Amino acid sequence: MIYLNNTTDAQVVYVPRDTELPVGATVRFTAKSTVDLDTPVTALVIDMELHRVYYNVALTLPEGVAPGEYQYELTAGDEVVSTGLLIIRDARTPATEYNKQTEYEQYES
């Protein structure tokens, strides 16, 4: 899962790598809402580095994207090279962690 802030500033994203990129292909990052499945978001890929297990992508989101869950695709030409879930969260609201503290009590016998 990928987490992005809902901002038009450039962000670095680590996209899981499934296959090799075709040489010379145009790379596009698109996402559609998992709620209505017809709200396409096309992000501009600014820069890209290859690593063994992920693509290091710098991208910018367009203005007016609604926060929520999206299904993303990273394509190179006509080939889908990675797909998965993406959360776009409001940049003004800090992320909340829900980790419950568990305490154990040990009795001696």
**Which amino acid, one-letter code, is at 105?**
E
Q: Are 65 and 6 in contact (CB under 8 A)?
A: yes
- Domains of the chain: residue spans and CATH: 2-89 (2.60.40.10)
pLDDT of 92 above 90: no
pLDDT of 65 above 70: yes
What are the start-end ranges of the E strands in 17-91?
27-33, 40-50, 54-60, 68-76, 79-89
The C-alpha atoms of residue 54 and residue 16 are separated, in whole angstroms, by 4
Q: Mean pLDDT throughout 42-62?
A: 78
The pLDDT tens digits for 1-47 are 888 888 888 888 888 887 777 777 788 888 898 888 776 788 767 66
Q: Are 47 and 15 in contact (CB under 8 A)?
A: no
CA 108 to chain centre: 49
pLDDT of 71 above 90: yes
